[in-house]
């Protein structure tokens, strides 16, 4: 394949991977925007979502209808999970020093990972994920699989829905208000706790669908599968400017493309190092990210 | 006799007695080889956890990539011994120096950041180090690992005793250095950064300089711990030093109390022992640990000791002043 053919091919692959990262990054960025917490457990919500999808698909057999049910069930389960985690782990620490909240997030993440590992019906061994029959379409020299198309279409659809919720509904307005100033919005009669729970639920729904998409693209589920996509999505969120929703989408796609290009042209093993390298460069040059706001430190 | 001298004699005496006595017990066989190994491993864990405590507990900068530093120290020391045939002691020191150099260059861009960003970037560096270790196949053996690292001695019957003595002696040395550092003006400056960075800055403390100092020293100690780990274990593999390993040290530091040397020593030994003790519970301990961490954060965020120290000198009569130097027993 010619150089440009491969470039285009890897860009398409990157677009599919990047839209999954974008979905996860949205959860990070929304939560960070509101409670200023890196929700380390977000990647593990993705893993839970993938597992729930796996069980639904295994019990119903693979079909379009089953896939739809799998999405719905895992979204509901993960939303509840997100709310529960926020209520019992993060809410008591909302006024605690940031470092404590961060360590709590790491603890929750470890509990979910290792919990999934010890629960008998999940277990530590990787399992093959049921996927649709693979079909590829060729556009000239570029090939795109049906799974990649599903990934991109579902991600874009979810992002449009999210954009609508955040920008055009009452609860979206409340979310933006709380992220702008929590105390002032409480004084204005916004139920801050409810809004934060809703944000966690929304982020978890996106993570759940990202989980199913991710494990359809890389057909495997295991308890620690959420760590790497979670970290990379967080990097995407930082890259785009943490707290900014368009930034997270943009950052996710850029990061996905950067990763597949590294895999295609340099070395597949070094792709993780490149991704973290991007993070370090971004943070040393422009710590607020591409679309982030400058926050001045006040004494 | 001044209090200072008296305390010094008490502490030095106690450390030497404890070290020699336990080593002898291991040599004679009263403490069996298995327990000796756990104690040695605990010593290594305490060294790395202390280094993490220096940057996280005392300087207030959460670092999540200390397994990476440990890996650099471990591989550097092992390569020095195996490829360049340097003596073990020199290799350990050299490994620690290499780690400190890495720490310096990693700290330079990262320590300008604060809080969450710093945590994430150190995590990122930890992962990059691991990926590089996998890819430098000629030097590190790649994903298959590095086998046959020479131990502290070739004599198999002496091995548990000598490993213990080396590691615990290094641990005591690290404790002494850290304690004295933290009670010097440099240490005060470092602690002031944790308490309030802006206030420290306005009092004329070069915040970035002291952060760098603390971070580089932390890398040095972690590298030393890594080198000891490599020598003690005899086998290295990049997956040993993943993010979960870094989390182990965070757990030790947080449980013991961020900003308490004694706390880290106690929780390091207790947790390492528990890890072996809980083997009967198999993988469930993997859930119990973070659950304990969560409960600590919710109900006792300052950890076991908070930022207090348990002073051995205060046990010996009322003349010991709390402000005078105090070091922890083994």
Residues β-bridged to residue A139: A142
**Which has more pLDDT, B151 or A54?**
A54
Residue B32: per-residue pLDDT: 82
**How do beta strands A136-139 and A127-128 pair?**
unpaired
Among A37, A280, A282, pick the best mutation site for testing chain B contact (most B Cβ within 10 A): A280
pLDDT in tens, B261-316: 999 999 999 888 887 777 777 677 778 878 888 888 888 877 777 777 777 666 66
Q: What is the pLDDT of residue A265?
A: 83
b/e per residue, A145-183, with b = 16+ CB within 10 A? bebbebbbebbeebbeebeeebeeeeebebbbbbbeebe
A38: which chain B residues are within 8 Å (Cβ-Cβ)? 116, 119-120
pLDDT tens per residue across span B41-51: 999 999 999 99
Most confident of A259-263, A264-268, B31-35: A259-263
CA count, 13 A, side-chain hemisphere, A80: 7
A contact set with B (CB within 8 A): 36, 38, 89, 92-93, 96-100, 102-104, 106-111, 114-115, 117-118, 124, 227, 231, 234-235, 238, 267, 269-270, 272-273, 276-277, 279-280, 283-284, 287, 297, 299
**Residue extents of the structural domains in chain B:** 3-315
Residue identified by tokens 């990787």 is: A126
Q: Write down the pLDDT at residue B286.
A: 78
In the block, tokens 């996280």 appear at B56
CA-based torsion, B58, B60, B65, B69: positive or negative:
negative
Contacts of A86 in chain B (CB under 8 A): none
Rounded CA separation A276/A283 (Å): 11
CA distances B314 to A265, A279, B9, B178, B310, Å, are 64, 49, 13, 20, 8
B298 touches chain A (CB under 8 A): yes
Enter the pTM of the model.
0.85
pLDDT tens for each residue of B62-113? 888 899 999 999 999 999 988 888 888 889 999 999 999 999 988 888 887 7
Higher pLDDT, B41 or A119: B41
pLDDT of residue B315: 65
How far B138 CA lies from chain A's nearest CA (Å)?
Answer: 16
Q: What is the reported pLDDT for B327?
A: 44
pLDDT digits (tens, 9 = 90+) for B150-173: 877 777 777 778 888 889 999 999
Indicate if the pLDDT at residue B322 is higher than 60.
no
Q: Delineate the domains of chain A, giving CATH numbers in brackets.
A: 10-122+147-285 (1.10.3470)
- Per-residue b or e along B239-277, where b marks 16 or more CB atoms closer than 10 Å to that residue's CB: ebbbbbbbbbbbbbbbbbbbbbbbbbbbbbbbbbeebee
Comparing CB atoms, the residue among A93, A267, A269 nearest residue B297 is A93
pLDDT at A1: 61
Residue B95 structure tokens: 């490994």
- Enter the ipTM: 0.80
Q: What is the CATH number that goes with domain B3-315?
A: 1.10.3470
Tell me if B60 and A108 make a contact (CB, 8 A cut-off). no
Look at B243 and A104 and tell me if their CB atoms are within 8 Å.
Answer: no
HSE-CB at B60 with a 13 A cutoff on CA atoms is 21
Provide the pLDDT for residue A50.
Answer: 93
Residues of B in contact with A280 (CB under 8 A): 109-110, 121, 124-125
Residue of A103, A118, A124 with shortest CB distance to B254: A103
Per residue in B173-222, pLDDT (tens digit) is: 999 999 999 989 999 999 999 888 889 989 889 999 999 999 999 999 99
Locate B79 and state its tokens: 């390569």
């Amino acid at each position: 394949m010619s150089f440009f053919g491969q470039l285009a091919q890897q860009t398409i692959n990157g677009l599919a991977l990047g839209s999954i990262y974008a979905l996860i990054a949205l959860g990070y960025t929304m939560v960070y925007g509101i409670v200023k917490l890196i929700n380390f457990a977000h990647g593990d919500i993705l893993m839970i979502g993938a597992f729930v999808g796996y069980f639904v698909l295994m019990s119903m057999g693979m079909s379009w209808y089953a896939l739809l049910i799998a999405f719905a069930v895992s979204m509901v389960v993960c939303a509840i999970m997100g709310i529960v985690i926020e209520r019992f782990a993060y809410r008591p620490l909302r006024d605690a020093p940031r470092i404590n909240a961060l360590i709590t997030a790491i603890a929750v993440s470890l509990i979910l990972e290792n919990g999934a590992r010890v629960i008998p019906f999940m277990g530590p061994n990787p399992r093959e994920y049921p996927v649709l029959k693979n079909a590829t379409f060729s556009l000239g020299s570029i090939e795109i699989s049906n799974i990649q198309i599903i990934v991109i279409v579902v991600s874009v659809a979810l992002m449009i829905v999210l954009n609508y919720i955040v920008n055009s509904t009452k609860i979206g307005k409340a979310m933006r208000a709380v992220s702008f100033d929590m105390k002032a919005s409480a004084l204005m009669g916004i139920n801050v706790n409810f809004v934060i729970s809703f944000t966690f639920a929304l982020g978890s729904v996106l993570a759940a669908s990202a989980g199913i998409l991710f494990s359809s693209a890389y057909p495997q589920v295991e308890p620690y599968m959420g760590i790497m996509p979670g970290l990379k999505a967080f990097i995407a969120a930082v890259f785009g400017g943490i707290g900014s929703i368009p930034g997270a989408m943009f950052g996710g796609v850029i990061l996905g493309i950067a990763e597949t290009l590294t895999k295609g042209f340099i070395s597949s093993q070094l792709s993780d190092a490149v991704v973290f390298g991007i993070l370090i460069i971004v943070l040393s040059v422009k710590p607020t990210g591409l679309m982030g706001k400058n926050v001045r430190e006040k004494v | 006799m001044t209090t200072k001298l008296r305390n010094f004699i008490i502490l030095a005496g106690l450390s030497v007695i404890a070290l020699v006595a336990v080593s002898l017990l291991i040599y004679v066989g009263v403490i069996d080889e298995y327990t000796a190994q756990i104690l040695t491993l605990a010593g290594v864990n305490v060294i790395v956890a202390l280094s993490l405590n220096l940057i996280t507990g005392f300087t207030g900068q959460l670092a999540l990539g200390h397994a990476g530093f440990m890996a650099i120290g471990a591989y550097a020391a092992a390569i020095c011994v195996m490829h360049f045939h340097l003596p073990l002691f020199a290799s350990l020191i050299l490994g620690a120096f290499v780690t400190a150099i890495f720490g310096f260059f990693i700290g330079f861009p990262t320590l300008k950041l604060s809080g969450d960003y710093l945590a994430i970037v150190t995590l990122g560096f930890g992962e990059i180090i691991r990926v590089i270790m996998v890819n430098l196949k000629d030097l590190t053996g790649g994903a298959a690992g590095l086998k046959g690292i020479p131990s502290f001695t070739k004599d198999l019957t002496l091995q548990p005793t000598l490993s213990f003595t080396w590691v615990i002696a290094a641990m005591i040395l690290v404790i002494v250095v850290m304690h004295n550092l933290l009670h010097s003006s440099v240490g005060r400056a470092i602690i002031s950064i944790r308490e309030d960075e802006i206030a420290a800055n306005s009092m004329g403390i070069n915040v970035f300089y002291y952060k760098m100092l603390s971070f580089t020293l932390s890398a040095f100690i972690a590298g030393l711990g890594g080198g000891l780990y490599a020598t003690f274990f005899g086998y290295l593999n990049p997956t040993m030093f993943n993010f979960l390993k870094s989390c182990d040290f965070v757990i030790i530091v947080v449980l013991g109390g961020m900003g308490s040397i004694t706390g880290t020593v106690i929780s390091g030994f207790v947790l390492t022992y528990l890890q072996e003790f809980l083997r009967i519970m198999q993988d469930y301990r993997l859930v119990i640990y973070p659950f304990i961490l969560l409960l600590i954060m919710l109900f006792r965020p300052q950890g076991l000791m908070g930022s207090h120290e348990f002073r051995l000198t205060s046990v010996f009569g009322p003349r010991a002043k709390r402000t005078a130097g105090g070091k922890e027993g083994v």
